[in-house]
């Protein structure tokens, strides 16, 4: 089974919480639970990311339900997997061939909805730029409205 962490580069993840979830997913085959010290050590020694045990503890515990903690350490929960999969804005969307077509439609709709937001932002920026310097932007505005 392919892991979610295989689709992400840890250095490109936005925050420490996502990096901690990445480690939990990445090392879930070797150990069922990991302590905050083990997660921090892996990020420091193997990935070259500066962090501390306290920072990992705070990042994983600030939002309930994404991990389960007991005296054995942290375990990644399904809510954490979903947050990790959706939490990275630079993520690559992998559509597995065995999933139903309706799932693919939902993913494609999400992609197009995100593009609409980007289009709106680009048009707003274009209007602002055009209003401040109309001579510079007259010929380029049609390129932005192609989306």
What is residue 126's predicted lDDT score, i.e. its pLDDT?
A: 64
Instruction: Give me the mean pLDDT over the 7-33 stretch.
Output: 87
According to DSSP, the residues that pair with 67 across neighbouring strands are: 76
Instruction: Give me the mean pLDDT over the 5-14 stretch.
Output: 80
pTM beyond 0.75: no
Instruction: Enter the tokens of residue 93.
Output: 């969307």
Given a cut of 90, is residue 40 above it in pLDDT? yes
* Domain coordinates in residue numbering, the chain: 4-86, 101-144
Could you give the CA distance from residue 28 to residue 30 in angstroms, rounded to a whole number?
A: 6
Does the structural domain 4-86 have CATH classification 3.40.50.300? no
% of the chain exceeding 90 in pLDDT? 33
Could you give the CA distance from residue 37 to residue 26 in angstroms, rounded to a whole number?
A: 16
What is residue 70's predicted lDDT score, i.e. its pLDDT?
A: 93
Contacts of 73 (CB under 8 A, 6+ apart): 31, 33, 34, 35, 36, 38
What is residue 41's predicted lDDT score, i.e. its pLDDT?
A: 95
Sign of the alpha-carbon torsion through 47, 51, 57, 58: negative
Given a cut of 90, is residue 85 above it in pLDDT? no
Q: What ranges in the chain are assigned the alpha helix state H?
A: 16-26, 36-41, 53-61, 78-86, 101-132, 134-137, 141-144
pLDDT tens digits for 87-125?
A: 655 545 566 666 655 555 556 666 666 666 666 666 666
């Amino acid at each position: 089974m392919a892991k979610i962490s295989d689709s992400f580069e840890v250095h490109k993840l936005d925050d420490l919480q996502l990096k901690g979830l990445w480690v939990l997913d990445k090392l879930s085959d070797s150990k069922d639970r990991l302590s905050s010290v083990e997660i921090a050590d892996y990020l420091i020694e193997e990935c070259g990311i500066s962090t501390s045990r306290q920072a990992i503890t705070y990042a994983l515990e600030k939002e309930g339900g994404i991990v389960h903690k007991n005296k054995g350490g942290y375990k990644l929960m399904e809510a954490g997997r979903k947050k990790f999969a959706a939490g990275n804005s630079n993520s690559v969307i992998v559509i597995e061939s065995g999933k139903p077509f309706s799932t693919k439609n939902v993913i494609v709709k999400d992609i197009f909805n995100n593009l609409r937001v980007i289009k709106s932002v680009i048009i707003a920026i274009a209007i602002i730029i055009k209003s401040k310097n109309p001579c510079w932007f007259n010929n380029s505005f049609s390129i932005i409205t192609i989306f």
